[in-house]
């Protein structure tokens, strides 16, 4: 897996992928992919990092773990392929996007437009068994994504961290909020979106901060 990182993440995470816990994670995943139905497909596990190079990240949009329905997860948090039915969490994201900055509601769930502009669509855990949310929790992914957040926190140019849901918010301790802009809210799932995700205006707030700090704003609207 370590060799699958195809940009500057390969260099900055080089030491991490040589650690004992990561080798144990690799062994666990080899067995899981051999004996269970696991998402996303192996080649898409690191899609978020490969789609948004370390030095180009402007916004980190942090979720929990991948969609666990067949054909959904593609290695970008909250995103699905254009031919896949839009999941409820993403429908709620689109609703907030519309209410916040007036974007039209897309008819597909592919968020790669965001990742291409510097939005790192990361989950705290990067794999999952079919139909079993959080089934790969505690196997080492949290340590790996802790390192990703630490590296971004240490970067010279400050950025926006969107922490959606409790697992994402556990990363707050790794972020210097005096330098970076942190937006926390409940997860956009149907179970929690009404508890503070709706009305949180993450997209306009992120753009406002980027603009004030000399950064380029994100075009959040999906065609």
> Which tokens hold the place of 142?
């949290």
Q: How confident is the model at residue 68 (pLDDT cuts 50, 70, 90)?
A: very high
Largest CA distance in the chain: 50
CA 120 to CA 112: how far, in whole Å? 10
CA angle 88, 82, 59 (to 5 degrees): 70
How much is the pLDDT for 4? Answer: 80
Query: What are the residue ranges spanned by the domains of the chain?
Result: 8-213
Mean pLDDT computed over 168-195:
96
Q: Which residues are catalytic?
A: 65
Tell me the pTM: 0.96
pLDDT digits (tens, 9 = 90+) for 146-176: 999 999 999 999 999 999 999 999 999 999 9
How much is the pLDDT for 74? Answer: 95
Judged against a pLDDT cut of 90, whether residue 1 lies above it is answered with no
Q: How confident is the model at residue 3 (pLDDT cuts 50, 70, 90)?
A: low
Task: Note the CATH number of domain 8-213.
Answer: 3.40.470.10
């Amino acid at each position: 897996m370590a060799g699958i990182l195809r940009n500057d993440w390969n260099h900055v995470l080089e030491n991490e992928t040589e650690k004992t816990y990561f080798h144990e994670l690799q062994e666990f995943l080899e067995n899981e992919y051999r004996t269970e139905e696991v998402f996303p497909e192996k080649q898409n596990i690191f899609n978020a990092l490969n789609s948004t190079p370390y030095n180009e990240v402007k916004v980190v949009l942090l979720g929990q773990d991948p969609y666990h329905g067949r054909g959904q997860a593609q290695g970008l948090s909250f995103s699905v392929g254009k031919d896949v039915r839009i999941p409820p969490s993403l429908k709620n994201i689109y609703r907030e996007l519309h209410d916040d900055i007036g974007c039209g509601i897309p008819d597909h769930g592919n968020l790669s437009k965001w990742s291409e502009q510097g939005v790192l669509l990361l989950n705290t855990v990067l794999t999952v068994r079919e139909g079993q949310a959080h089934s790969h929790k505690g196997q080492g992914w949290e340590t790996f994504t802790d390192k990703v957040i630490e590296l971004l926190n240490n970067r010279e140019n400050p950025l926006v961290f969107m922490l959606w849901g409790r697992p994402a918010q556990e990363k707050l301790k790794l972020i210097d909020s005096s330098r970076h802009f942190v937006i926390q809210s409940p997860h956009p799932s149907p179970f929690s979106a009404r508890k503070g995700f709706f009305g949180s205006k993450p997209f306009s707030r992120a753009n406002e901060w980027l603009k004030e700090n000399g950064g380029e704003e994100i075009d959040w609207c999906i065609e």
